[in-house]
Structure 1
Amino acid sequence: MPFRPARRHFLIGAGGLGLSFALPRLSAIAQGARPMTDATFLFSCDVHACLVSADSLSPNCAAEGKTDAALLRHVAALNSVGDLTWPVAIGGKPSGLASAGTQIAPPLGLVLGGDMTDDGGGQVKVPGEGRQLQQFASRYQQGTGPDRVHYPVYNGLGNHDLDQDGVAPHIDWYRRELRDYVELNHRSTVFYKAPVPAGNYDIDSDNYSWDWGGLHLVQLQRFGGDDTKHAISGLAWLKQDLADAAADGRPVVLFQHYGWDQFSTEHWDPTAKTFDPHGAGPAHWWTDAERAALLDVLKGYNVIGIFHGHEHPTPMIYNGAGHDIFKPVAAFLGGFALVRVTDGFLDVALAQADETSGEITFTNAFSKRLSG
């Protein structure tokens, strides 16, 4: 794991040297003509690293399949996709992919859609580096060999990373550690080079963005506009980021943990005394107003896809609120999405590695033409 100094604004008063200033990000529009795009990448979600000691898991993790062996199979599958071709058929039917039958290009990175750990990093009563975060980093921080992802990893946090309170007086330690991990992996400064630097990092919300050719990508963590558990909303940052980087109509892809599926949008049902899609009570995860506020910021931009996690067993490709949305099966169950964006098309293939053999099976596919 990378060295993590104390959090965020601690450098502001360091002798007037301006050590806290992030490296400047030039407006993509100001740089002239839009660069060409042919970007292949991976997306996964819900890793749920579960170790709490050298050889024991959090309660129920083993029964749910959240084991280190499962993560090793998932990592092996991710690392092997460059040996495959884009599927011509899925389930005996033509995949419809523009890339069908062609060799899969080496992925530019792996983007994660939250719940990297099962219990806030795996903390204990006294603040210290959590075993779950150590386990996560030992598998999903770029490295060599069969037990590490071989691509740059773009980290994202979910409710399992951020919702759990620590033991008083260290209530926020869990959240601080996970947010530190994201920042130190993606936020470069004048004197610090992040392992996977973002082009634009918001120090308050931990939202960040980067570009692959003419494609603009944005990580929104739990969800765009999250102010839960003292989080600071990143919607103002997102509005400015899109204005600076995507006002010329270039394609934009967003990543976050919550989606527009029935699980992500369920409400309390007082009759059934549970949260479900039919409830009329308070929202379980994020509210109608929060979704509307995020969608309002996205208006007028060429958002070609939104990727999320949260729901574990079901691969999903659907349209929600006017956007094409994608959710693979959870990482600990072997799931991931293979994505290719060119100037002419978007291809998405959802896949799952077998829980025993690790063999990859493509389960769902989506393709659409792009213009503008």
Structure 2
Amino acid sequence: MPTRRQFLQTSIGASAALTLPSVAGLPGTEKEATFILVADTHYSSVDENHPASLAMVKAINRIADGSFRWPIQINGQRSGFSCAGTIIQSPRGIIHLGDITDFGGGTELNGGKGFLGLKHYLGFRPFWEHDGEGVGKSKLKVAYPVHCGLGNHDLDHSQRNRERMWAYIRQRHAGENPPIPVSSFDDDSLSYALHWGPLRILQLHRFATDRIYGRKPALPWLKRQLAQAKQSGQHVLLCQHYGFDPFGIQSRWWTEKDRTQLLDALAPYTNIIGLCHGHSHATGHYFRKKLRVIRCNNMGWELDRGNKDGYGSFALVRATDTHFDLVHVQCINASGDFRFSPKHAVAIRTNRTADNNS
């Protein structure tokens, strides 16, 4: 069974071209959306000097200050982005792909008991609530709404800690007037949808068919969302914690049956851009059958664990009714400097019928 370190040392991302049906002329929707994907922040405490947190939060806040443009070239190679050379627009929000905390669900070292889960839960919030007070004298916090997803580190081990994390999802996104509204919220699975520009983004937490810990699977809700997106002419982007890479498909995370059920639900649709996930602490771009899969990196310094990527990275996305562009943004230092990564970028035309057989 491969460990995350073994996976990171051997994994090679694959890129392929794909075109999707046009969504031009969507009634009542905007034609463009810029947003950010993050994963695996693994907070354990409130630390105003946490270098990785300073690096990522500051970089996210800087990237749309009007000084930066979508790259025309990265390391001397054409980026292929439809928006290359244009100023990066203010993001609609941030989508978190899970493992917000390191042990928000408790830890097996103490049977999930004690205050560790609460400490880790409280460690995340000051940095990543745009409507909060921020951290330290500078009141540092992200400038954009964070749409949270939960991973295994947020949910494993303790029912009490787990319920705290689920309650946070409800508190931030559910009900009539939540701090961060969503377009559709499923009370059974706590999955939700965002309608951003030409996209319908579906947050599925750990994975779509998750049925443990007393929560019903999101699959029935997902199928309804897919049908509605097809009817309205929207493209679909799926977001969850687990992926289809060698580390992510271990049965301790989700089973082959789970994955088959998800792929079967997606199979009838040609308007699906892909599935974005975290969990493996590295960027990636590959296919599972015809499904494009985009893997987002973690926040953290892991030079001693096989992941030589500095302070981690986040993904910057721009979607229009004709194109989908994604670039991974590598955080360099605690001052918020960053660089665009040449690895695993995505540039898709979305105005033709899907014809990829990968």
Quickly name the TM-score band, shorter chain normalised: 0.7 to 0.9
2:166 aligned partner: 179
2:199 is aligned with 1:219: no
Select 1:33's aligned residue among 12, 27, 31. Answer: 27
Q: 2:215 aligns with which of 215, 231, 235?
A: 231
Cα distance in structure 2, aligned partners of 1:127 and 1:353: 31
Partner of 1:309 in structure 2?
278
2:58 to 48, 64, 76: 76
Q: Distance in 2 between the 1:55 and 1:89 partners?
A: 36
TM superposition score normalised by structure 1: 0.76
1:109 aligns with 2:109: no
Q: Match for 1:158: what amino acid?
A: G
**Letter of the aligned partner of 2:193 in structure 1?**
S
Task: Determine if the alignment matches structure 1 residue 321 to structure 2 residue 289.
Answer: yes
Task: Please say if 1:43 is aligned against 2:37.
Answer: yes
Aligned equivalents of 1:122, 1:226: Cα separation in 2: 19
After TM superposition, the structure 1 stretch with the greater mean CA deviation from structure 2, 173-182 or 300-309, is 300-309
Instruction: Verify the 8 A CA contact 1:119 1:164 in the aligned structure 2.
Output: no
Instruction: Check the 8 A contact 1:41/1:110 in 2, yes or no.
Output: yes
Q: Does the alignment pair 1:139 with 2:127?
A: yes
**Contact 1:156–1:256 (CA under 8 A) maintained in structure 2:** yes
Partner of 1:368: 348
The question of whether the paired residues in 1 share the 8 Å contact of 2:191 and 2:205 is answered with: yes
Letter in 2 for 1:149: V
Counterpart in 1 of 2:247?
Answer: 263
**Is the alpha carbon distance of 1:260 and 1:206 closer, same or farther for their aligned partners in structure 2, counting shifts above 3 Å?**
same
User: Which deviates more, 301-310 or 348-357?
Assistant: 348-357
Cα distance, 1:150 vs structure 2: 0.5
Runs of 4 or more above 6 Å deviation? none
Q: 1:349 maps to what in 2?
A: 327
Match of 1:292 in 2: 260
Deviation at 1:110, TM superposition (A): 0.3
Tell me if the contact between 1:42 and 1:336 (Cα under 8 Å) persists in the aligned partners.
yes
Q: 2:55 & 2:230 partners in 1: Cα distance?
A: 37
What's 1:155 paired with?
A: 148
Contact kept? 2:71, 2:79, Cα under 8 Å = yes
How many residues get paired?
A: 304
> Partner of 1:246: helix, strand, or coil?
helix
Matches of 2:219 and 2:200, distance apart in 1: 17
| TM-fit CA distance, 1:228 | 2.6
Q: Secondary structure at the match of 2:213?
A: helix
Q: Distance in 1 between matches of 2:238 and 2:339?
A: 25
Counterparts of 1:316 and 1:117 in 2: how far apart (Å)?
22
3-state DSSP of counterpart to 1:331: coil
Q: Which amino acid aligns with 2:130?
A: Q
The alpha carbon displacement at 1:197 in A equals 1.0
Give the percent of matched residue pairs that are identical in Structure 1 and Structure 2. 36
Q: RMSD value over aligned CA atoms?
A: 2.4
CA distance in 2, matches of 1:256, 1:210: 14
SS in 1 for 2:245: coil
Contact 1:76 1:146 in 2 (8 A): no
Q: Which of 71, 91, 94 lines up with 2:75 in the alignment?
A: 91
Normalization by structure 2: what TM-score?
0.79
Q: Deviations over 1:14-73 (max 9, x none)?
A: xxxxxxxxxxxxxxxxxx83634200000010010012xx679xxxxxxxxxx8331121
Unpaired stretches in structure 1, ≥5 consecutive residues: 1-31, 57-66, 166-171, 267-282
Q: Is the 8 A contact 1:316 1:326 kept in 2?
A: yes
Secondary structure of the structure 1 residue equivalent to 2:63 = helix
Report if aligned partners of 1:120, 1:164 keep a CA contact under 8 Å in 2. Answer: no
Secondary structure at the aligned position of 1:253 is classed as: strand
State the distance in 2 between where 1:86 and 1:321 align.
30
Amino acid at match of 1:258: Y
Q: Shift of the alpha carbon at 1:125?
A: 3.7
Give the aligned partner of residue 13 of structure 1: none
Alpha-carbon distance change, 352 to 146 in structure 1, aligned in 2, over 3 angstroms: farther
**Conserved 8 A contact 1:188-1:198:** no
Residues 55, 358 of structure 1: CA spacing in aligned structure 2 closer, same or farther, 3 A cutoff? closer
Alpha carbons 1:119, 1:160 under 8 Å: kept: yes
Instruction: Measure the CA separation in 2 of the matches of 1:33 and 1:305.
Output: 23
| Counterpart selection for 1:164 from 157, 166, 169 | 157
Deviates more, 1:213-222 or 1:227-236: 227-236
Distance 2:106 2:142 in 1: 21
Q: Which has the larger radius of gyration?
A: 1
1:134 Cα deviation (Å)? 1.2
Q: Distance in 1 between matches of 2:258 and 2:53?
A: 33
Please point out which of 246, 252, 261 is paired with 2:230: 246
Q: Secondary structure at the match of 2:144?
A: coil
